[in-house]
Every structure is written in C-alpha cells, then in structure tokens.
Structure 1
Amino acid sequence: MDGQSRFPRQRTSSGDAYRSGPVQAPVAGTGTTLPGAPAPGCAVHRRLHLTLDPADLVGVGAVRRRLRSALSHWGVPELSDTAELLSSELVTNALLHTGKGAVFDAELGSDHRLRIEVQDGTSRLPGRRRDPEGEYATSGRGLLLVEALADSWGVQLRGDGKVTWFELAMP
C-alpha cells in the first residue's frame, strides 16, 4: 500500500480544514488555480500532514518515505536523513507509549528551517530511561538522538495531549 492511499488527508488552503485526495494542481497554461488548491509558492506547498492509527508501527515507514519525498520536492534533500531518523523516533514513541494514534506535521519555513511536530493523545511527558541497566537496553535512546541532532526541540502540553517537536536548520 503506498503512502498516499495510507494517508490521504491533506490541509486545504485555509489551513484549518481537511479534505481527502491529492491537492489539485493549477490548470495548465491558464495561470489560475482550481478552487481549494493552494497557489504556487504558497506555504501550504511546504507542509506535510499525516495521521497514524494506534499501534500502526508499519505507518512509521510510510511517514519516512513521505517526508523524504516532500523534502526533496521542497528543495532541501540534505535534511532528509536526520529528519527521517528523528521523526521515526518521535512517531514510534507516540505509538508505543501512548496506546493512541499520532498526528505528524512537517513544515518548511521561508527561512528554510524545518519544524516537525508529533501530536499524541496523552499528557504524560516523555522521559529518559532511568534504570542503571538502561545502558545495555535495546531501546530507550530516541530522545537522546533528538537532543543530540536537532537544532532545538521540546514538548508542549495541550488540552487533548501533547506535541513533541524538533527543528532542523539548513547546514
């Protein structure tokens, strides 16, 4: 199953509603945009919005593929490796530790700064492994990677859960 059929919802040009299916392209040769389609060069062209069902760990791979494709399309493929790794960590954490789904948003600002947000439905803050044997564990290093590789990151509590985010600047 490809990523588009798996995650068909995209933001509309208003930014606050969703519709199914791909965003319509401008009509060739007319210079006009179809209703509901963002204008070329608009910030909506640099935004990726995906939803994942609870425990959908297979969806993490689709997030990585869609993110890599988007970053290439936006002209910043050099951010792909780090963005994919850190996004995988945050999405996987949201799916494994909350028992709920996740909402993934990526946006490339006009300053070429990439912001990734992963929203989940619990207000429990993420934490580092505290046990002394954690050094030898096969998991539990995701936030250490985010801390080491992101230019900035954090957690924001919201009424319906939290958003864990990170930002990457162009090298």
Structure 2
Amino acid sequence: MDGQSRFPRQRTSSGDAYRSGPARGPAAGSGTSTSTSTSTSTGADLPGAPAPGCALHRRLHLTLDPADLVAVGAVRHRLRTALSHWGVPELSDTAELLSSELVTNALLHTTKGAVFDAVLGSDSRLRIEVQDGASRLPGRRRDPEAEYATSGRGLLLVEALADSWGVQLRGDGKVTWFELATP
C-alpha cells in the first residue's frame, strides 16, 4: 500500500503551510466522515471490504463538538485503546500527549469543533490529524514573558517529540498533523 492510499486526505502540494520531517507524495481524493467510529474489525468477508492488515482497519475517527474540552480525555482514552488493539502500545504516551495538545488547540481557538483521525499505516507509522474550521495558522508565542505562561507550548512539544509534523490549509480550514514511527 503506497502513501497515497494510506492517508487519503493528505495533500503535500503548495497547500502546506508548515512541514517538518520527510516529504510525502500527494494524495488522491478527500473525504471526511461525520460519524465517530473506530475501524478495527477484520470484515474481509464483506464485498468491497479492505483486506486484513489494510490501514483502513487501523483508523480511529472522532468528531468533536466546539469548546468540548471534556472530549480531550475521551480522545486520549480511545487512542490508547486503539493503539493497544493495533499492537503498538509503545506509541501511546507520546501519541496521547501530542494529540491532546492539537485537539485542545483546535477546540480553544476555533468555533466549529474538530475532526480527529489516527491511522496506523502498514509500515507501522502512526499519523494523527486534527482538522478544524479556522484558516489562521498556528504561531509561537512572541511574548518575552511566555516562559512563565501556563499555555502556548503545545507546538513546541509536537516539534520536539514527533518524527514529522505540519499544517495544511484547506478550503474549509486547516489540518494540523504529526507522525510517529514505531521504535
């Protein structure tokens, strides 16, 4: 399975605002489900169902309501459960921390909620995306007193702990993403 089919919503053309880590090829198509689901069953006996081991069987998709900060804990719990089920529990701590940073940012700084997607590719590389309805790019604090602030360090954590990360502008907002490789 190539990079295009693993992450169908990824766009790496000029739409990238920020990017770190290795570049990926452009993806075909885009699609967003509005339901909350975890695709972890095999389902290979169904017509048109993906084969076992396909990334579609290792996908967590959650839709979050605006300003629902309680949902951050639910995202962390569902992600930890999914990663354990997918056989990569060693990614849980870092994935939970970085996911909660991105989800919290999306819920605090936008008014349209967020969409959370986690996909474990066939190469055991985890990709987390958080889509929100704001087209404003995230930025670092420029305040000299930021060292003592109680917030504003989320993207520094993402930059320090993720293997790669970026922000992609879309017509309906942006997607902030990161990837983690299994150790």
TM range (shorter): 0.7 to 0.9
**Equivalent residues of 2:53, 2:122 under 8 A apart:** no
TM-score, with normalisation over the residues of structure 1? 0.78
Q: After superposition, where does 1:15-164 map in structure 2 within 5 Å?
A: 34=46, 38-164=50-176
Cα distance in 1, alignment partners of residues 117 and 30 from structure 2: 32
Cα distance in 1, alignment partners of residues 30 and 173 from structure 2: 45
User: How far off its partner does 1:25 sit?
Assistant: 33
Structure 1 residues 38 and 90, CA gap change in structure 2 (3 angstroms): same
The answer for unaligned runs of 5 or more in structure 1 is none
Cα distance in 2, alignment partners of residues 35 and 14 from structure 1: 37
Cα distance in 1, alignment partners of residues 26 and 68 from structure 2: 34
Structure 1 residues 46 and 30, CA gap change in structure 2 (3 angstroms): closer
**Equivalent residues of 1:10, 1:22 under 8 A apart:** no
**Equivalent residues of 2:102, 2:130 under 8 A apart:** yes
**Equivalent residues of 1:10, 1:23 under 8 A apart:** no
Q: Give the superposed CA RMSD.
A: 10.7
**Equivalent residues of 1:10, 1:48 under 8 A apart:** no
Identity of paired residues, percent? 91
Deviations 1:125-151 (A, max 9, x none): 001111111110011100000000000
Cα distance in 2, alignment partners of residues 25 and 5 from structure 1: 10
Aligned to 1:9, what secondary structure does the other structure show? Answer: coil
Give the number of the structure whose alpha-carbon radius of gyration is greater.
Answer: 1
Deviations 1:39-94 (A, max 9, x none): 43332111110000000000011100000000001100000000000000000000
Q: How many residue pairs end up in the alignment?
A: 169
**Equivalent residues of 2:6, 2:55 under 8 A apart:** no
TM-score, with normalisation over the residues of structure 2? 0.73
**Equivalent residues of 1:9, 1:50 under 8 A apart:** no
The answer for unaligned runs of 5 or more in structure 2 is 32-45
Structure 1 residues 45 and 128, CA gap change in structure 2 (3 angstroms): same
Aligned to 1:25, what secondary structure does the other structure show? Answer: coil
Structure 1 residues 129 and 29, CA gap change in structure 2 (3 angstroms): closer
Higher relative contact order (CA 8 A, sep 6+): 2
**Equivalent residues of 1:12, 1:19 under 8 A apart:** no
User: How far off its partner does 1:35 sit?
Assistant: 5.9
